[in-house]
Amino acid sequence: MTEWMHERLHDDYAQSLRVDRVLYDSATDHQRLRLFENARFGRVLTLDDVVQTTEADNFIYHEMMAHVPLLAHGAARRVLIIGGGDGGLAREVLRHPGVDHVVMVEIDAGVIEFSRQYLPSLSDGAFDDPRLEVVIDDGAAFMARKGGTFDVILVDSTDPTGPGEVLFTDSFYGHARSRLTEGGVLVTQNGVPFLQGAELAGTMRAFRALFADWGCYLCTIPTYAGGPMALGWATDGVARDTPLNVLQARYAEAGLETDYYTPEVHLAAFALPGYVRRLMP
């Protein structure tokens, strides 16, 4: 009999993926972790029955979350990732030769161990890169402590339920600002605005109170269903409208090869349709 995974993120709308083979199904200390194979998407990782990442389409989210802020900044050396335990975001960040230290703060060691074993293509060696330091901790607790500052902070979180909820609070964003170097930039996972508009609006209100330049940019990921996903953007210094020729030069200099990100897509991603713009405070 054909088995399907029905995602339980929304009460009134769901996506389903055919489960061709279950490879792993177990509870970690924090959440239920499942890995299965789907003919179209390859290996699919779910946490509490919400799709986190797939082998086939993760490049879109990870490239856009890493390369937009890093190429807009242009000289980032220290990067902080909150969450991101599958290693896909670290993989893209570490493609930048100018980045010399990445701290990843992940609450669930189980996600990292698991992803290293069962989804090695996600991290593609990132966990063995000496520039990566992994800290097992709650990202909000880490952020609230005094400590080093970062040129780029990336919040690769689950949705705002369960352990991820604290990563969407005003106090978390305030602490994140104090952990940015002057002219640093914060990028956050803010869900799919068509379905999760209130969450994006909440983050934008917090950003407006804290940062000189704030907003979001969009990218479309098939398994984050419901239209384009919003990535929050907050900075006191990095230009969101870096000239195209500058982005092209930085992209070439970093030696990047990407399947979604291009300098043209980078600039276009900040253009918002009306229904998203209306969520801005």
Active site amino acids? 156
Task: In angstroms, give the least distance from the CB of 47 to ligand SAM.
Answer: 6
Tell me the C-alpha distance between 171 and 164, whole Å: 14
Work out which of 82, 192, 218, 276 binds ligand SAM, going by CB under 6 A: 82
Q: Which is nearer to ligand SAM, 85 or 215 (CB)?
A: 85
Task: In angstroms, give the least distance from the CB of 249 to ligand SAM.
Answer: 29
Contact in structure between 188 and 200 (CB atoms under 8 Å): no
* 63 touches ligand SAM by CB under 6 A: no
Site string for ligand SAM, 157-186 (x = CB under 6 A): xx----xx-xx-------------------
Alpha-carbon distance values, 44 to 21, 55, 220, 225, 249 (Å): 10, 7, 17, 14, 35
Tell me the C-alpha distance between 192 and 231, whole Å: 9
* 108 touches ligand SAM by CB under 6 A: yes
Work out which of 37, 49, 129, 138 binds ligand SAM, going by CB under 6 A: 138
Site string for ligand SAM, 201-240 (x = CB under 6 A): ----------------------------------------
Work out which of 63, 92, 106, 151 binds ligand SAM, going by CB under 6 A: 106
**Diameter over CA atoms, the chain:** 57
Contact in structure between 122 and 89 (CB atoms under 8 Å): no
The β-bridge partners of 17 are 5
Work out which of 111, 219, 267, 269 binds ligand SAM, going by CB under 6 A: 111
Tell me the C-alpha distance between 214 and 139, whole Å: 21
Q: Is 20 labelled a binding residue?
A: no
Contact in structure between 237 and 75 (CB atoms under 8 Å): no
Work out which of 46, 54, 81, 83 binds ligand SAM, going by CB under 6 A: 83
Query: Interacting stretch for ligand SAM, rule CB under 6 A, among 9-17, 36-44, 105-113, 252-260?
Result: 105-113
Q: Which spans in the chain are helix H?
A: 58-73, 88-93, 109-118, 120-123, 139-144, 170-178, 193-210, 244-254, 263-268, 274-277
Work out which of 48, 57, 63, 86 binds ligand SAM, going by CB under 6 A: 86
* Residue whose beta carbon is closest to ligand SAM: 83
Strand 150-156 relative to strand 42-47, pairing: unpaired
Tell me the C-alpha distance between 191 and 224, whole Å: 8
Residues near ligand SAM, by CB under 6 A: 52-53, 61, 82-86, 105-108, 111, 138-140, 156-158, 163-164, 166-167, 189
- State the binding site for spermidine: 62, 86, 156-159
